[in-house]
Amino acid sequence: MNKDIISGKWSQLKGKAQAKWGDLTNDDFDVAEGNAEYLAGRLQERYGWAKDRAETEVRDFEKAMHKDYPDYK
């Protein structure tokens, strides 16, 4: 997984990420700044998920953003 894959449009996507993963704090998202590895790690910690599940969640989120924002890179 590219750790910076969602960083380009992070400020625009942050609200959607907060809605999806409500247990993460604003600080979590501010520190993540779109870093997929960090975000997956925080999901593991907050939700008690295995690494694979957390990474899948982040990848699925990215795929959904590609559908919603076709120009998103």
Question: Which pLDDT score is estimated for 43?
Answer: 96
In a domain, 73, yes or no: no
Checking if the pLDDT of 31 tops 80, the result is yes
The number of angstroms, rounded, from the C-alpha of 32 to the middle of its chain's C-alpha atoms is: 8
DSSP for residue 9: T
CB atoms within 10 A of CB 14: 17
Share of the chain above pLDDT 70, in %: 79
Residue 39's CATH number: 1.10.1470.10
State pTM to two decimals: 0.78
Closest CA to 59 of 31, 34, 36, 29: 36
Question: Does any domain span residue 57?
Answer: yes
- The domain of 34 spans 7-68
- Overall domain count for the chain: 1
Q: H helices within 1-73, ranges in order?
A: 10-20, 26-32, 36-47, 51-68
